[in-house]
Amino acid sequence: MMLDGKVALVTGGTRGIGLATARALAEAGATVVLTGRDEAKAKEAAAAAGAASGLALDVTDAKAVSTLVRGVAKEHGKLDIVVANAGIMEDALLGMIREELVDTTLSTNVAGTLHTVQAAARAMMRKKTGAIVVLASIVGEHGSAGQTVYAASKAAVANIARSAAKELGRSGIRVNAVAPGVIDTDLTSGLTEDAKAENIGKTPLGRLGMPEDVANAIRFLVSDDASFITGQVLGIDGGLVL
Ligand code: NDP
């Protein structure tokens, strides 16, 4: 299988895109560790995804991320794949943005992704090989009314991928981002039926994305089939931004 013998870590693997990604990597032969903030939920998700284990991790805690990533690499002898998927989204019009929203969004989406990429790079550096994928968004590339904070955080995530790719390429480590459109998960469950219909109407492929659409692209990006691809931000949006 495509990922036989590989060891993979997926953050935010308890549901949605992270859970589908953990499942896709496990089905492709990888030994997968997934994380979520709640240990019981992480273990339950790991069992559902066919992952080796589910561990508790809050990605805003740099020390916890570093300790967990080091622990996974030690237990499994190496770390080949890291998917920095954990993220949050809360909408607010410019005049309604609270400081707390700025803090939680940036500490989870930007700092959380950065902590994960840093720890992954440290764990992969010794073997001079590895593949990292981070979760950007089409709104990070194109902007979105009512989502200024989230869009800013996802633009930062895309640039974490581009910058880390430049820095880590010589160490054999590839870093890419995926930029999903509207994917049917808990994150977008607040969208009204009208908003969903409007998005579908603007999408050439005529539907919302499913978590598996993103998971399948991530599985490709972390595989050896993508061995000359780094620093890219791959849109997975059914053509929504065209
Ligand atoms: P969900 O809300 O369904 O899942 C989010 C996941 O992130 C959960 O597993 C959650 O775990 C975890 N998480 C949230 N905060 C933290 C934290 N501080 N530390 C650790 N884990 C955390 O979201 P999606 O699956 O829809 O989204 C996954 C990623 O994809 C996000 O980065 C999102 O921004 C991005 N994305 C999603 C799109 C969409 O349309 N759905 C579009 C573009 C990008 P738990 O709550 O169990 O701790």
Q: Is 241 buried (19+), middle (13-18) or exposed (0-12) by CB count in 10 A?
A: middle
pTM: 0.98
Q: Whose CA is nearest to atom 30 of ligand 1?
A: 135
d(CA 37, CA 51): 17
Q: How far apart are the first and last CA of the chain?
A: 34
The rounded Å distance from CA 88 to ligand 1 centre is 5
Tens-binned pLDDT, residue by residue, of the chain (242 aa)? 799 999 999 999 999 999 999 999 999 999 999 999 999 999 999 999 999 999 999 999 999 999 999 999 999 999 999 999 999 999 999 999 999 999 999 999 999 999 999 999 999 998 999 999 999 999 999 999 999 999 999 999 999 999 999 999 999 999 999 999 999 999 999 999 999 999 999 999 999 999 999 999 999 999 999 999 999 999 999 999 99
- How high is the pLDDT of residue 150? 98
| Pocket test residue of 37, 147, 236 for ligand 1, highest count of atoms within 8 A of CB | 37
Angle between helices 62-76 and 112-125 (to 10 degrees): 30
Q: Whose CA is nearest to atom 12 of ligand 1?
A: 12
In the chain the domains, ranked by start, together with CATH numbers, are: 7-236 (3.40.50.720)
- Residue numbers annotated as active site: 150
- How high is the pLDDT of residue 149? 98
Q: What atom of ligand 1 comes closest to residue 209's alpha carbon?
A: 40
Q: What atom of ligand 1 comes closest to residue 211's alpha carbon?
A: 25
What ipTM describes this predicted complex?
0.99
- How high is the pLDDT of residue 187? 96
Task: Check if 183 has its Cβ closer than 6 Å to any atom of ligand 1.
Answer: yes
Query: For 99, phi and psi rounded to 5 degrees?
Result: -60, -40
